[in-house]
Amino acid sequence: MLEERIGRFEIKKSKTISYRESGAGRALVLLHGIGSSSASWLFQLESLRGFRLIAWDAPGYGESDFLQEEKPGPVEYAKALHGLVERLLLKDVVLVANSLGALMAGAYAREHPDRIRGMVLLGPAGGYAGDISKIRDRLKLLDEIGPEGMAEQRSPNLVAKNAPPIALALVRWSQRRVRPQGYRQAAHCLANGRLAEDARSFRKKVLVACGAQDTVTPEAGCKAIARAFPNAEYRSLAGIGHVAHIEDPAQVNALIGAFAA
């Protein structure tokens, strides 16, 4: 059933970047986390109405090309994102990002604030400011057990204890399909990221939301990121873990819809 639902949103490709799309109206560009893909936005593609949703596959994910840089930072992903925005002729977009995707959104907002109306950041990763040691265990685990093993071991940590079974199933579906080279590059993006620094230069509206049961990017860090933006609002999401858009799509769709409107 899950495979069938994902398949209704066929993968498209614009030069180097693949994506899934639904709806019409103001463009919302959806940016996934490190162990995920465009398919992680399934519940938004299905039921978030009144907008044109474009869920990208970051470089090295889905059918997107790998980046040329072996150890990229968020700026390289921002360049790839800008290429997609340009080719699809998007203007005045709202960026909606989860986890690692927030680093890419922040870098893009710093470089191209004129192309963005605002941002919604769900469980944003702040980055490690160049500390490569922070990703060594993550990459070692990838080498030892691969995407399939990580889907079994790490996925349960991303959702709250009482998350619906389909939420964990979708998280695992994406994790199993991670391409190791793309994951390695994205891990360096995480290591090199400095979201709080990027945040200071973006003066348009931002909504930061974090699950109260998020153990990956806990609320304390997410609140600090919200404070770094000149014009941000913070929301705590009770009973939710790290992937709020998957665990409680009705609540998150309402938040996104109200913000983007």
| Alpha helical stretches, state H, 48-135 | 74-87, 100-111
Compute mean pLDDT per 10 residues along the chain, 261 residues long, and list them.
95 97 97 98 98 98 97 98 97 97 98 96 97 94 96 95 96 97 98 97 97 98 98 98 98 98 90
| Burial group, residue 92, by CB count within 10 angstroms (0-12, 13-18, 19+) | exposed
| Burial group, residue 250, by CB count within 10 angstroms (0-12, 13-18, 19+) | exposed
Please give the Cα distance from 114 to 126 (Å, whole number): 23
Asked if 58 and 186 count as a contact pair (C-beta separation under 8 A), the reply is yes
- Residue spans of the domains in the chain: they are 2-260
Domain 2-260 has CATH 3.40.50.300: no
Within 13 A of 133's CA, how many CA atoms are on the CB side? 0
Please give the Cα distance from 121 to 222 (Å, whole number): 9
Two tokens, residue 15: 């030069």
Helix (H) or strand (E) holding 26: strand 26-31
Please give the Cα distance from 186 to 98 (Å, whole number): 14
pTM metric for this prediction = 0.97
- Write the DSSP symbol of residue 53: E
pLDDT at residue 17 in the model: 98
pLDDT at residue 142 in the model: 95
